[in-house]
Amino acid sequence: MTKMNLGTHPFLLGFEQLERMVEQAAKSGKDGYPPFNIEQVSDRAYRITLAVAGFADDDLSITVENAKLVIRGAQRDDGQERVFLHRGIAGRQFMKSFVLADGVDVRGARTENGLLHIDLERAEPERLVQTIKIKKG
């Protein structure tokens, strides 16, 4: 028995990129830092929340690159020499990425109590009906 890939199924024409996106998303989800939540706020709205305790707003960057939401964090060196007796708050740099479907846009981002909230909204798709004329002969 042969395994049929999503992109080669005869009824799914033009979805080859979807299979690549699923593979890419599976690879990017391996690291658990920083922890995050994804919640559905309404029928067309989502919120991603990352725990970014210890990161200032200037330490964080959010970009959308080729339908991929990329969040990066890197703490700036303040030049102070610190001696930790216990260090339980991770301060390492990170990069978290999420693949966005067509029509999903970033509406805004804000930090609150050590959490970074990123709001997303999916546009209402236009309903198109197209009639194809059949030529004779």
- Residue-averaged pLDDT of the chain: 85
- Count CB-CB contacts under 10 A for residue 101: 10
Who's near 25: CB < 8 A, 6+ residues apart?
Answer: 98, 99
> Higher-confidence residue: 104 or 32?
104
Per DSSP, helices labelled H in 12-117 are 16-28
Residue partners of 85: CB distance under 8 A and separation at least 6: none
Q: With bands split at pLDDT 50, 70 and 90, how would you rate the model's confidence at 77?
A: confident
Domains recognised in the chain with CATH numbers? 32-122 (2.60.40.790)
CB 105 within 8 A of CB 120: yes
Please determine, for residue 38, whether its predicted confidence score (pLDDT) is greater than 90.
yes
